[in-house]
């Protein structure tokens, strides 16, 4: 039996999922990412991550990374009425989903913690940045991404554009291979 088959058979997996390993302030176990295009010194270097992907591929293992983008940018808001997120995800830790930014003179929304301001995925430049982050890791040998906090980003996207109930946001990030549940083919081997 080839070595890769032995590993897959023994472990029962064909994919390695790397949790957040980006540069972070570590106020939230690495979810508070400072630089999505670099590896935290805690976990090695960019060369180490590329070598890991190469070694996994030699063993017929795919590599996916955790894409932690919901907390990428601060989103200043005129109105603090947000039907996409009626209250804190972490009640008892945060008492509101809104935090006032003294420097900007405005409030921003945070789904999780006040030091992790939410994205406004309705903005084209934000989506372009997310797509750029995905492309960065694909270019370094990663096979795919697991997008963190999708249940909070899709309703936010729907506030900007109701197409596909907000799933258009994911379709745009993954053209050609991902479809929302309403558009999926009964045959999982096709993308039509």
The reported pTM is 0.71
Architecture of domain 3-70+124-183: Alpha-Beta Barrel (3.20)
pLDDT greater than 60 at residue 43: yes
Lowest mean pLDDT among 47-56, 110-119, 156-165: 110-119
User: CA separation (Å) from 136 to 36, 65, 133, 144, 145?
Assistant: 9, 12, 5, 11, 11
Q: Are 136 and 65 in contact (CB under 8 A)?
A: no
Residue spans of the domains in the chain: they are 3-70+124-183, 74-118
* Tokens 């997120």 belong to residue: 85
Task: Tell me the C-alpha distance between 160 and 56, whole Å.
Answer: 40
Pairing of β 33-39 and β 22-24: antiparallel
At 77, the pLDDT band (50, 70, 90 cuts) reads very low
Tell me which of 17 and 179 has the higher pLDDT: 17
Lowest mean pLDDT among 20-29, 142-151, 170-179: 170-179
Average pLDDT, the chain: 75
pLDDT in tens, 23-41: 887 776 777 787 889 999 9
């Amino acid at each position: 039996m080839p070595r890769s088959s032995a590993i897959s058979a023994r472990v029962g997996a064909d994919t390695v999922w790397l949790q957040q390993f980006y540069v972070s302030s570590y106020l939230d176990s690495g979810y508070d990412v400072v630089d999505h295009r670099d590896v935290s010194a805690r976990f090695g270097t960019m060369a180490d991550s590329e070598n890991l992907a190469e070694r996994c591929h030699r063993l017929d293992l795919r590599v996916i990374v955790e894409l932690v983008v919901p907390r990428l940018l601060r989103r200043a808001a005129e109105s603090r009425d947000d039907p996409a997120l009626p209250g804190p995800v972490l009640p008892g830790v945060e008492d509101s989903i809104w935090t006032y930014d003294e420097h900007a003179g405005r409030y921003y929304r945070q789904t999780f913690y006040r030091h992790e301001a939410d994205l406004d995925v309705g903005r084209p430049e934000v989506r372009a940045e997310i797509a750029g982050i995905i492309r960065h890791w694909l270019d370094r040998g990663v096979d795919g991404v697991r997008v963190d906090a999708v249940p909070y980003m899709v309703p936010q996207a729907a506030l900007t554009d109701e197409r596909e109930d907000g799933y258009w946001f994911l379709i745009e990030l993954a053209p050609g291979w991902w479809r929302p549940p309403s558009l999926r083919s009964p045959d999982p081997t096709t993308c039509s």
